[in-house]
């Protein structure tokens, strides 16, 4: 029988967890997320801030892209006319550059397409109409009606263009 060799080492803070050292998170430095509270932040092996979050009912490290790292400075003590004056401690945010983060890992911006604009407008309009008439409809039925109307309008380009101009001018 062949014995399988493992390159994994036991984590520093909890012996039941292992790491291989290739992880960019603090786990690559030997720190498992399991014992930390949700939201706990630590600098990872890549020099960026990582936060403990839940994923599939397990605590794991998540990178916090472009989040400020708040550092603490000791109070400055000065002597003014034999009176000791202590200044308040200063919290200095130092912004981590997102230029070193690959584009596929940056948060995506939601683009407003004609469909999303129409969807928002039409679902709100249907909800208001049903509320005025005292009709109770579940959101999934309103969604289905909106999609059916969108598909109908896509076939009638002129009507769709007129409606989209109206919606865009209204907002």
Q: What is the pLDDT of residues 138-151, one digit of tens each?
A: 888 888 898 899 89
Quick one: 99 and 128 in the same domain?
Answer: no
Each residue's pLDDT tens digit, 102-140: 555 555 566 778 888 888 888 988 888 888 888 888 888
Quick one: 136 and 160 in the same domain?
Answer: yes
Q: Is the residue at 53 inside a domain?
A: yes
Quick one: 83 and 50 in the same domain?
Answer: no
Q: Is the residue at 1 inside a domain?
A: no
The Cα–Cα gap between 10 and 34 comes to 13
Q: Is the residue at 57 inside a domain?
A: yes
Quick one: 159 and 121 in the same domain?
Answer: yes
Does residue 95 register a pLDDT over 60?
no
Q: Is the residue at 161 inside a domain?
A: yes
Q: Is the residue at 101 inside a domain?
A: yes
Residue 88: the pLDDT is 54
Q: Is the residue at 86 inside a domain?
A: yes
The Cα–Cα gap between 141 and 39 comes to 37
Residue 87: the pLDDT is 53
Quick one: 118 and 166 in the same domain?
Answer: yes
Quick one: 41 and 82 in the same domain?
Answer: no
Domain count, the chain: 3
Per the structure, the complete domain to which residue 94 belongs is given by: 69-105
More reliable by pLDDT, 157 or 7: 157
- Enter the pTM of the model: 0.38
For residue 161, give Cα distances in angstroms to 2, 119, 121, 143.
Answer: 69, 15, 15, 21
- Which residue in 153, 99, 79, 82 sits closest to 122, CA to CA? 153
Q: Is the residue at 4 inside a domain?
A: no
Quick one: 73 and 33 in the same domain?
Answer: no
The Cα–Cα gap between 78 and 55 comes to 49
Quick one: 120 and 139 in the same domain?
Answer: yes
Residue 79: the pLDDT is 56
Each residue's pLDDT tens digit, 17-62: 888 878 878 888 888 888 888 888 888 887 788 888 888 888 888 8
Q: Is the residue at 3 inside a domain?
A: no
């Amino acid at each position: 029988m062949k014995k399988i060799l493992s390159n994994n080492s036991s984590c520093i803070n909890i012996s039941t967890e292992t790491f291989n050292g290739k992880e960019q998170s603090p786990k690559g430095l030997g720190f498992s997320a399991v014992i930390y509270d949700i939201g706990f932040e630590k600098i990872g092996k890549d020099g960026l801030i990582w936060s403990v979050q839940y994923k599939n009912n397990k605590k794991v490290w998540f990178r916090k892209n472009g989040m400020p790292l708040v550092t603490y400075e000791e109070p400055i003590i000065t002597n003014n006319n034999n009176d000791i004056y202590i200044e308040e401690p200063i919290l200095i945010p130092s912004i981590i550059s997102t230029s070193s983060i690959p584009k596929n890992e940056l948060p995506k911006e939601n683009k407003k397409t004609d469909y999303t604009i129409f969807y928002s407008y039409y679902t709100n309009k249907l909800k208001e109409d049903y509320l005025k008439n005292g009709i109770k409809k579940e959101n999934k039925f309103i969604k289905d009606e909106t999609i059916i109307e969108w598909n109908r309008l896509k076939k009638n380009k002129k009507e769709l263009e007129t409606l989209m101009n109206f919606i865009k001018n209204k907002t």
